[in-house]
Structure 1
Amino acid sequence: MAALTIRNLDEHTKAQLRIQAARQGRSMEEEARRILRSAIEARQPAGNGTGLGSCIQAHFAQLGGVELDLPDRSSQPCPAEFSRKGSR
């Protein structure tokens, strides 16, 4: 296991950690490990690394899909025109 030393931790934060650990019946060291672990896990992608769209699709896949008939485009798209402010 790796060791980690945290320097320059202000007294207020240390006291809050001590109180939180005591409330949970844990040592300060265990509480710090749990806080760090949960902070790291919260930033990890959900599921097996798939994106949100894939998760939603998998969730609703059993309902089946819908095929839409898209109409043919009757005209070509044209780019937006922007003018500079004040030059009308």
Structure 2
Amino acid sequence: METRAVTIRNVPEEIHRAIRVRAAQHGRTLQAEMLDILGQAVKPEGRVKLGDLLESIGRKVKLTDEEAAGFERDRSSARATRF
């Protein structure tokens, strides 16, 4: 997985302190806590993934194993389009 560095400027002391406290409560570094917060914001726990949705539809319409095998799933992570 490729990673990128991000700098956030002008963070109010109150927010910085709250994240430090939250990180300590979760036993994480400040960076790890911020990554977790960002991850939860962009990938909410209750989101429905397209592949999972299609799989559940297949179960509801009672596809046979042979029919379902025709829909091979790519479980790799999605990549952003580069222009």
| Category of TM-score, reference length = shorter chain | 0.5 to 0.7
Picking from 14, 17, 41, the partner of 1:15 is 17
State the 4+ residue runs in structure 1 displaced beyond 2 angstroms.
Answer: 57-63
The two structures, once aligned, show a CA RMSD in angstroms of 3.1
Structure 1 stretches lacking a partner, 5+ long: 64-88
Please say which structure displays the higher CA radius of gyration.
1
TM-score normalised by structure 1 residue count: 0.53
Comparing both chains, which one has the higher relative contact order based on Cα–Cα distances under 8 Å and sequence gaps of 6 or more?
Answer: 2
Distance 1:34 1:5 in 2: 16
Question: What count of residue pairs does the alignment treat as equivalent?
Answer: 60
Q: Which has the higher helix share?
A: 2
**Structure 2 residue runs without a partner (length 5+):** 63-83
2: distance between equivalents of 1:35 and 1:41?
Answer: 10
1:61 aligns with 2:63: no
Q: Aligned partners of 1:3 and 1:12: how far apart in 2?
A: 23
Shift of residue 3, structure 1, vs aligned partner: 0.6
